[in-house]
Structures are given as structure tokens and as C-alpha cells.
Amino acid sequence: MDVAAQNTGVIVADAAALSRNTFWDGFARQLTRAAVILVLIMLGGVMVALLDGAAPALKTFGFSFLTTESWNPVTEKFGAVAPIYGTLITSAIAMIIGIPIGIGIAIFITELCPRWLKRPISTAIELLAGIPSIIYGIWGLFILAPLLQRYVQPALIDLFDGVPILSDLFTGPPYGIGVLTAGLILSIMVLPFITSITRDVFETVPPMLKESAYGLGCTTWEVVRRIVLPYTRTGVIGGIMLGLGRALGETMAVTFVIGNAHKIAHSLLAPGTTISASIANEFTEADGVLYTSSLIALGLILFVITFIVLAAARLLLLRLQQKAGN
């Protein structure tokens, strides 16, 4: 009888525990679902607000808003070509510089760096992500820009003088500030994102794979190229896309050093502007419905550009995963 009672008690306790676990499991499922729905609602709300605010400008200018360079608040003639151009060019410069340096640092930390030096370097790289963007802007304006104006830009102008295409990209007076300076600042700002994520995914490579490659006589470069990068390419691309998203939306640092000129110049040394810099500079001074709507329309364009970039990244990752599965 005592054994039967004990068994009955155990069964009842197990049933109660199962009931509690079922309840909390369902609660967690509903809570996470509500969080996802909330994010989608917020995203939709942002999109609706941008569309509503941009409607007057889009109705007035139509498709020409995307093809016109003029930006004149006095005559209320607005076009988004210059900010779009500046956003894409500065982001491209940032990624061209930041991707190889970021991946190179990650390779050094995981494959070549002495163990005692790994933590200080990793900490220093991650600290770059914690520096406010306005500090980057002040440093770029008062330190980097004068150095570029005095030493780097004149050297680039002389170096590429007479070289097709490159002579047009590096021509004109060395202002110090400009599109190239903004791209350099952005490359520093995206560096910690690319490096940290790339380093973390490199560390997920099974040591057996690398040891086997070294045992076959592979060099460090061959191990990185044929083992580490193929194994972690999905994570590396994800880190690059995260850095690109930061570059596309950066505001204050770019505003300080790009020159804020609403025009398209073939030279990378000339002043320019970006979408976020234009909004930050002019939104508080916007007078009139059309002026304000044009700035909101710039925000809508940046939203669309970011969405396209992220969608393309997801599509690329999906194809890589399918290719790896085959």
C-alpha cells in the first residue's frame, strides 16, 4: 500500500510539473510571437509615416525627384540625386577600405596573434564601436581633414595626374573635407562591426579541420582561404552587411567632414552630401510643407535603399546556403 501511494504521489507530482511546464512554454511562445508582431507593427508604422510625410513632395515632383540635382529652398525646387549619390559613394569607399582591413584583423587575431595579445587587440577594436559618432566627426574635422589637405590629397592629385579615370576622381583643390574624407571616417566606424563578427565566426571553425589542413602541409594562407573562409562565409557576409547598414545611415560624423554641398562632383576630393547629413542639417530650418516633405522623402529613399541592401544580403546568404547544401 505504501509503495502504491508513493507511486501515485510521484505521478501526481510529475503531472503537476508537466502542467506547469506546458503553461510556461505556451506563455513564452505567445510572448515571443507578440514581440515579433510588435516589431512588424513598428516597421509598418515607420513606413506609413514616411509615405504620408513624403506624399506632398512626391506628388509635386514625381519621378523627377529621383533624377534632379537641384536643391533650392528659395524656389522650392528639390531633387534627391546629390544626396543619393553621396550616400552610395561614401558607403562604397567605407566598405572598400573597411572589408579587407576588418577581415585581415580577424585573421590575425584568430590565426597569427600571440595568445597574450588577443584580448587587448579585441578590446581595442570593440571600443571603437562605443565611441559616439559626433566624436568621430570632431576628430575628422580638426585632425584628419587638415592632414589629408596638407599631405594626402596633394600627393593623390600628383600621383594620378594624367591617368585615365583616376585623374578625374582625384582632381581639384585639396579642401581636406569632402567625399573621400567622409568615406575614410565611415571605414573606421564600420571596422569594429566587421572585425568582431568575422573574428567570432572564425573561432567557430572546428580545430580538427585546420589541424588536418596543416598536417597535409598547407600554409596559414591556404588554411584561411580553403578552410576558414568557406566554412564561415555566411557569417562574414552578415558582418559585412551590418557594417554597410551602419555606413548608409551614419549622420553626425559624415555631416562634419563631407562639406554639405548639394551637387554631384566627379572628384572624390570635392564636397558633397548624403541623405542623413542633409536631413540633419536642414530639418530644423525647413520652412514650408514642400521643404519638410522633401526632407522626409529623403528619409523614405534611405529606408528603401537599406531595405534593398538587406534583402539582397538575405538572398545572397540563401543562395550560398543552398549551394553548400548541394
Q: What is the pLDDT of residue 2?
A: 55
Looking at the chain, the whole-number percentage of residues with pLDDT higher than 90 is 60
Mean pLDDT along residues 90-102? 95
Q: What is the pLDDT of residue 6?
A: 54
* Structure confidence at residue 10 as a pLDDT band (50, 70, 90): low
Gap between the Cα atoms of 220 and 210, Å rounded: 9
Each residue's pLDDT tens digit, 229-241: 989 988 898 889 8
Cβ pair 293, 53 in contact under 8 A:
yes
Q: List b or e across 146-180, with b for residues whose CB sees 16 or more CB atoms inside 10 angstroms.
A: eebbeebbeebbeebeeeeeeeeebbbebbbbbbb
Q: What is the pLDDT of residue 13?
A: 60
Gap between the Cα atoms of 169 and 259, Å rounded: 17
Gap between the Cα atoms of 242 and 98, Å rounded: 12
Q: What is the pLDDT of residue 291?
A: 94
Each residue's pLDDT tens digit, 32-55: 999 999 999 999 999 999 999 999
Coil vs helix vs strand at 253: helix
Query: Residue 90 has which C-alpha cell?
Result: 561614401
The CATH number of domain 68-325 is 1.10.3720.10: yes
Looking at the chain, the whole-number percentage of residues with pLDDT higher than 70 is 94
Each residue's pLDDT tens digit, 65-83: 999 998 999 898 999 999 9
Calculate the alpha carbon distances from 192 to 87, 104, 291 in Å: 20, 12, 37
Each residue's pLDDT tens digit, 167-200: 999 998 999 999 999 999 999 999 999 999 999 9
Each residue's pLDDT tens digit, 144-166: 999 999 999 999 999 998 888 88
One-letter amino acid for residue 193 of the chain = F
Each residue's pLDDT tens digit, 104-127: 999 999 999 898 898 999 888 888
Calculate the alpha carbon distances from 268 to 118, 189, 245, 251 in Å: 36, 19, 21, 19
